[in-house]
Amino acid sequence: MILHGYWRSGTAYRTRIALNLKGLAYEQRGVDLRQGEQRSAAYLALNPQGLVPALEVDDLVLTQSPAILEWLEETRPEPPLLPKGTADRARVRAMAALVGCDIHPLNNLRALKALRQDFAADQAATDAWAGRWIASGFAALETLVSHHGHGWAWGETPTLADCYLIPQIYSARRFHVALDAYPRLLAIEAAAEAHPAFIAAHPDRQPDAD
């Protein structure tokens, strides 16, 4: 497996977590988004959308982290990142989508660059923009974890929801979002800080990190 990603990308981060939780070996190839490497002809041949991550497996190239994580769950089912019951699986997917669909797209690099370039937003304004969507999403996740979590977002072991949550907490800290109102999410962060799969996936530990 070859994972094309960027060390600080939340989508690449969540993919690394899932690969590590599954115990899968993979080579990393950095795509520096700041230098525009995602728009190179070589990378666009892999991923015409010009986004990270992209996962190469033999003759297969997979893009979009939700699709990659679902493919991993289907093809490498142990250890599982989704619970057994169909209703529970839907709830975990909903928690993941809360981050992946409703929080992350509004504070990713493309969105923030548009705020700066098209609307002259300064750093304080972009932090406030990101914080607005992170706070509303985290408030909902805090409630969901209170109903379903027992050490992790769902139950007693990591799931897809945690693969999405931990990178978003990392991003929240970059944008100086106050997190005291989310003690259950902070407890999950503490659990991740002691878990080998999450430790190895952390942006600071990646070969292309600053």
Q: What is the domain-level CATH number for residue 37?
A: 3.40.30.10
Is residue 105 domain-shared with residue 180, that is, in the same domain? Answer: yes
Walk across the sheet containing 27-30 and list its strands.
27-30, 2-5, 54-57, 60-63
Asked if residues 189 and 183 have their Cβ atoms less than 8 Å apart, the reply is: no
DSSP letter string, 100-123: HHHTGGGSSHHHHHHHHHHH---H
Residue after which a domain boundary falls, among 79, 109, 141: 79
Residue after which a domain boundary falls, among 55, 79, 103: 79
Residue after which a domain boundary falls, among 79, 114, 141: 79
The number of angstroms, rounded, from the C-alpha of 192 to the middle of its chain's C-alpha atoms is 13
C-alpha 68/C-alpha 40 separation (Å) is 22
Residue 74 lies in a domain: yes
Report pLDDT for 25. 97
Is residue 155 domain-shared with residue 171, that is, in the same domain? Answer: yes
CATH number of the CATH domain containing 182: 1.20.1050.10
User: Domains in the chain: how many in total?
Assistant: 2
Is the pLDDT reported for residue 109 higher than 90?
A: no
C-alpha 44/C-alpha 51 separation (Å) is 9
Residue 151 lies in a domain: yes
CB atoms under 10 Å from CB of 146, counted, come to 10
- 3-class secondary-structure state, position 57: strand
pLDDT tens-digit map of 153-172: 999 999 999 999 999 999 99
Is residue 139 domain-shared with residue 52, that is, in the same domain? Answer: no
Share of the chain above pLDDT 70, in %: 100
Is residue 186 domain-shared with residue 148, that is, in the same domain? Answer: yes
Is the pLDDT reported for residue 108 higher than 90?
A: no
Report pLDDT for 200. 98
Hey, what amino acid is at 150?
H
DSSP letter string, 177-207: ---TT-HHHHHHHHHHHT-HHHHHHSGGGST
Is residue 115 domain-shared with residue 183, that is, in the same domain? Answer: yes
Residue 209 lies in a domain: no
Report pLDDT for 196. 98
Is residue 47 domain-shared with residue 29, that is, in the same domain? Answer: yes
Owning domain of residue 51? 2-79
Average pLDDT over every residue of 28-36: 95
